[in-house]
Amino acid sequence: MAKRVTRSSAAAAVVKKEHHSPPRPSHTPRKRAVSEQDVKARKKVKTENQNETGMLSPIASDDLSTRAAFPTKPPSSKAKTASDLQSRKLKSYAQFANESPFPDFSRPTPAECKLAHRILASLHGPRTRPKEIVASTTRAGCGDSPSVLDALVRTILSQNTSDVNSTRAKLSMDKVYGGSDKWDAIVAGGQAKLQEAIKCGGLSAVKSKVIINILNQSFEKYGEYSLDHLHQASSDDAMQEMLSFQGVGPKTASCVLLFCLQRESFAVDTHVWRITGLLGWRPKNASRDETHAHLDAKIPDEDKYGLHILLVTHGKRCEECKAGGKNLGKCELRRAFRAGKIEGEAGEDVKKEEIEEVKKEDQ
């Protein structure tokens, strides 16, 4: 017995760890092969589930919630994994909170930002910040609520889906729980009930878990279901607190900061990331997190609100600038910044998965 264990100790250790039971000596090679197949099968099922629920590629920072929600490590490592993700998010934000991660990349200049803002405003109409934020009862919106917690939940519902679907999810949730902001009823009902209520919005398993966790954390920390103290917090403190929640990345936090807290922050969604690549306003391989940090440092505060909304609008409406659009030489924005165009970005060579992602947002 001792001799056989020594000869196959490595394989036996792997099998024992994965199956939590000692292998039978006569079948050690067979069990090792099955274990490898099981691991591949589990990975395959994870990928298929992600595709079915509209999961994005790892470039989307808010996907931290989905990776934590479907861990591949044993349950004992789950808490550590979530903590590590949180630490990396906060460290990344703190590192580039007030400066670009690309110090040698000078674009966009303030003059370029104002030119783009003028062009887009002439094409789609100017966008100005409202004096008062009113929570809509007919649409979910993205951070459009005076309640910080409500704004955060609405923005989470809008992640990786269309405005139509996020609104369906919000209205369904309100109907199931008897109104808006029924946080105590949502927590009391549990995740399964919330998941069923918002399933029409997509990614309901992930989003319901994220929302329940945020509600629990806010109550444990403040004794109530509220984050309204962030209205008095600095922009930096507000960003860091929102980023501390699992499932909340820079884009989601930036939207709440921009629309709910009425601070100057430049959120980067699919359209903004694509078009700023088209204009040459970011390095070609910059991630969305990096693009957010870079543009937030480069774009003048007075242009952030209007330019963000107009870039999103333009990315949905312009036949040349939408995902998969062809450069016909007619788009005024593209003509103005043609010299800075990044080859291979949106327009001629958009990745298939991004096109599918944007189709959902444009519905």
Domain range list for the chain: 1-49, 91-129+266-361, 148-260
The DSSP result for 75-98, as a single string, is GGGHHHHHHHHHHHHHHHHHHTSS
Q: What pLDDT, in 10s, does the model give residues 118-136? A: 999 999 999 999 999 999 9
Supply the pLDDT for residue 97.
Answer: 76
What whole-number distance in Å separates Cα of residue 211 and Cα of residue 27?
Answer: 46
State which residues of the chain have pLDDT below 50. Answer: 1-77, 342-355, 357-363
Structure tokens belonging to residue 338: 């043609």
Supply the pLDDT for residue 82.
Answer: 66
- Per DSSP, the three-state class of 302 is helix
Supply the pLDDT for residue 87.
Answer: 78
What whole-number distance in Å separates Cα of residue 276 and Cα of residue 215?
Answer: 35
According to CATH, the superfamily of the domain at 148-260 is: Hypothetical protein; domain 2 (1.10.340.30)
Give percent of the chain with pLDDT exceeding 70: 70
What whole-number distance in Å separates Cα of residue 136 and Cα of residue 145?
Answer: 7
Supply the pLDDT for residue 39.
Answer: 40
Contacts of 135 (CB under 8 A, 6+ apart): 141, 144, 145, 146, 147, 150, 180
Structure tokens belonging to residue 47: 């990928």
Residue listed under structure tokens 């398993």: 205
Residue listed under structure tokens 């691991």: 39
Rg of the chain, C-alpha, whole Å: 23
Residue listed under structure tokens 């029924």: 182
Overall fold of domain 91-129+266-361: Endonuclease Iii, domain 2 (1.10.1670)
Choose among 165, 164, 188: nearest CA to 176.
Answer: 188
Neighbouring C-beta atoms of residue 108, cutoff 10 Å: 25
Catalytic-labelled residue, pool 207, 251, 304, 322? 251
pTM of the model: 0.71
Determine what percent of the chain falls in helix, strand and coil, rounding each to the nearest 5: 65, 0, 35
Q: Is 251 a catalytic residue?
A: yes
